[in-house]
Amino acid sequence: MLVFEFKAYGKPKQFSAIDEALRTVQFIRNKALRFWMDGLGKTQYDLNKYCAVLAKEFPFCNELNSMARQASAERAWSAITNARCSTWGNPKTALARFYDSCKKQIPLKKGFPQFQKNNRSVEYKSSGWKLADNRKSITFTDKKRIGTLKLKGTRDLHFYQPDQIKRVRLVKRADGYYVQFCVSVDRTESVEVTGTAIGLDVGLNDFYTDSNNQKIENPRFLAQGERRLKMAQKRVAKRVKGSKNRRKARQILGKRHLKISRQRKDHAVKLARCVITSNDVVAYEDLRIKNMVRNHCLAKSINDASWYQFRVWLEYFGKVFGKITIAVTPNGTSQECSSCKTVVKKGLSTRTHICRCGCVLGRDHNAARNILSRGLATVGHTGSYGLEACNAWGEDTATHVGASLHEQVTS
């Protein structure tokens, strides 16, 4: 599944119609959840049927396209299943992940499904919208009176037929409204074999150091953005609750968030694509967000988030280009000697690895070499699990990383 995104242009009246649709989605989702809590609906099918009841009872529900109504009830269902058996993170995600995480026995976070307060998207399936022939505008045909929105963004949608578009999503963000098209294609591309394998060590000072002692610097814009984010956060905290100024400050904070997450994604995508296309095997540390304890060090926190996203994209491009990506256990990679494998204890501040066997390397360089050799020792069997390449939209682009490794094992 590919996602194409466009910024939507229209009249204020149309945007308030979108807001109305967003509220309706939230209403249906929460109603369906309540229906389930009261023990009246037990299956996803029950919740779907309940949509028709709501449509009869509430005119504003009837105004929303029937499939969009159902999609809202499906959200309630996935909130329920996710709460029962949840991986970290996004409660909006599909049932697929639920089953996936059960199968792979990822530790569960117990919880109860929550009512939603700030819904920001509405999802249409095959009906309720019509794309113009020139692909420059979209018309929503249900009774919410959203009407025709002009689209600005990528031209890539021209390459696909309308029946390949499986879902259309309207998304509200801090800086406006967006239309996303989910197109069903299995994306694979071929590149020439490079004959190289590489190990990557994440660092504090550099974004990563590879096993050939190449260093990629931390992008400066991220640190800068993060600082501005902190400032905006402080400003919100200082304003009186419920005041106009607080609302304004919150809007600014929202925009900064959006900006930094776009920059981070952009950086991760470009770098990951480059690493994958110029190597056949890429090994890296199996760092998970869950294990990255909250810390007060600014540089570290930026790195954690960026590195994690970088990893997800590495695995995504690994699948696209048919390359091998291996996550290895990170324990002790910096302590071991990459030549003779003896343990050479060193503190965090020791930047050089010096071993009795005569091996002298930069600390990170040594670690990267260890990561590569661990990776090569376990090719095809390592800790990739069903991470999804969540792009900055926070929506899925259906990339099961585990699946790619599996294919590589069998081929």
Alpha-carbon distance values, 77 to 39, 70, 117, 349 (Å): 13, 10, 17, 50
CB of 366 to Zn ion, least distance (A): 9
Assess contact for 173 and 120: CB atoms under 8 A. yes
For position 361 contacting Zn ion by CB under 5 A, the verdict is: no
For the CA atoms of 147, 153, 156, 160, the dihedral, rounded to the nearest 10 degrees, stands at -10
Question: What single-letter DSSP state applies at residue 218?
Answer: P
Nearest approach, Cβ of 367 to Zn ion (angstroms)? 14
- Residue 367 contacts Zn ion per CB under 5 A: no
Give the closest residue to 313 by CA, choosing from 368, 271, 369: 271
Answer yes or no whether residue 229 interacts with Zn ion by CB under 5 A. Answer: no
145: left (phi over 0), alpha (psi -120 to 50) or beta: left
Closer Cβ to Zn ion, 237 or 340, answer by number? 340
Which residue's CB is nearer to Zn ion, number 132 or number 340?
A: 340
Applying CB under 5 A, the site for Zn ion has a residue count of 6
Q: Which is nearer to Zn ion, 86 or 338 (CB)?
A: 338
Query: Would you say 165 or 355 has its CB closer to Zn ion?
Result: 355
Point out which span in 252-260, 345-353, 354-362, 372-380 binds Zn ion (CB under 5 A). Answer: 354-362
State the minimum distance, in angstroms, from the CB of residue 337 to Zn ion.
Answer: 3
359 binds Zn ion (CB under 5 A): yes
Instruction: Tell me the three state secondary structure of residue 316.
Output: helix
Q: How far is the CB of 369 from Zn ion (least distance, A)?
A: 11
Beta bridge partner(s), residue 129: 140
**Which 3 state secondary structure label does DSSP give 130?**
strand
By CB under 5 A, tell whether 354 contacts Zn ion: no
Are 298 and 226 in contact, with CB atoms under 8 Å apart? yes
Which of 237, 357, 377, 409 is close enough to bind Zn ion by CB under 5 A?
357
The one segment of 153-161, 324-332, 356-364, 373-381 that binds Zn ion by CB under 5 A: 356-364
Residue 65: name the closest of 159, 9, 129, 155 by CA.
129
| 360 part of the interface to Zn ion, by CB under 5 A | no
Query: In the range 191-220, which residues lie near Zn ion by CB under 5 A?
Result: none
Rounded to an integer, what distance in angstroms lies between the CA atom of residue 301 and that of residue 295? Answer: 7
Which of 79/337 has CB closer to Zn ion? 337
x/- letters, 323..352, toward Zn ion (CB under 5 A): --------------x-xx------------
The single-letter code of the amino acid at 22 is L
CB of 357 to Zn ion, least distance (A): 3
Q: Which of 171, 282, 283, 355 binds Zn ion (CB under 5 A)?
A: 355
Q: Which residues contact 68 (CB under 8 A, 6 or more apart)?
A: 21, 25, 122, 123, 124, 125, 128, 142
Q: 103 with 112: CB under 8 angstroms? A: no
Nearer to Zn ion by Cβ, of 68 and 355: the residue is 355
Beta strands across the sheet bearing 215-217: 215-217, 206-210, 197-202, 281-285, 324-328
C-beta closer to Zn ion: residue 83 or 359: 359
Q: Which segment (12-20, 126-134, 357-365, 385-393) binds Zn ion by CB under 5 A?
A: 357-365
| Binding window for Zn ion (CB under 5 A); candidates: 54-62, 180-188, 227-235, 359-367 | 359-367
- The pair of structure tokens assigned to 66 is 């029937």
Q: Which residues bind Zn ion (CB under 5 A)?
A: 337, 339-340, 355, 357, 359
